[in-house]
Structure 1
Amino acid sequence: MLESTADIATEKASRYLQQLCKHFAHKIPVSFDAAAGQISFSGGDCRLEADDNRLRLSVTASDAETLAKLQNVAASHLVRFAFREEMQITWQRV
């Protein structure tokens, strides 16, 4: 499995975590609370962790193409939900 993570500075980490999970829960398996969540996409998973000033996204997939796709899906939805903030999302391979 390939994995990448992104740490995003935001004081609304829990809010965005819950918003992302609720959004995807209409179509795919999701579990979450205020501090952690998991979104199970068909090609891999996205784990989310929130604290007071950071949202961490961790994406896993079996191949590089799917990993890049899931990174884009997670990041683009987060940017859309956080339109009032300027998000810096930099993925790092683990």
Structure 2
Amino acid sequence: MSETSNRQHSHAEVATANASRYLQQLCKHFGHKVEASFDEKAGIVRFSIGDCRLQAEGEVLRLALDAPDAEALLQLQDVVASHLLRFAFREPLTVEWRAGAAA
């Protein structure tokens, strides 16, 4: 059995007309402390507790998280969602995490 088989995953789709803007803002912000790469349509942030992949498609920001265990996944969800909501203070966003890898 491989080491990655126990990894925890979750994903969210956030409806916003500013998907690309928030993707870039999150990646730039997190990139000051951890490894991050991005363009206007996709990005990845590599935290010590796991990875966050971001994808902007029209008016949807897709977030996909990968962490080594459930505790790290919950922490990653909180960090990503709280920063997104802070950046998007001008609009009421909802981040609903769903278990499992994104389809």
TM-score, structure 1 length as denominator? 0.98
Q: Which string of whole-angstrom CA distances, capped at 9 and with x for unpartnered residues, describes residues 1-32 of structure 1?
A: 11000000001000000000000111100010
User: Which digits, 9 at most, give the CA deviation of each residue in 1:31-57, with x for residues without a partner?
Assistant: 100000000000100000001110011
Provide the residue aligned with 1:19 in structure 2: 25
Bigger radius of gyration among the two: 2
Q: Which residue of 1 aligns with 2:3?
A: none
* Aligned twin of 1:52: 58
Q: Which residue of structure 2 aligns with residue 3 of structure 1?
A: 9
Distance in 2 (CA, whole Å) between partners of 1:49 and 1:87 is 16
Structure 1 stretches (4+) deviating beyond 2 angstroms? none
How many residue pairs match? The answer is: 94
Structure 2: unaligned runs, 5 residues or longer: 1-6
Unaligned runs of 5+ in 1: none
Query: RMSD in angstroms over aligned alpha carbons?
Result: 0.5
In structure 2, C-alpha distance between the alignment counterparts of 1:11 and 1:55, rounded to whole Å: 9
Q: What percentage of aligned pairs have identical amino acids? A: 56
Matches of 1:85 and 1:57, distance apart in 2: 18
Q: What is the rounded CA distance, in whole Å, between the counterparts of 1:57 and 1:64 in structure 2?
A: 17
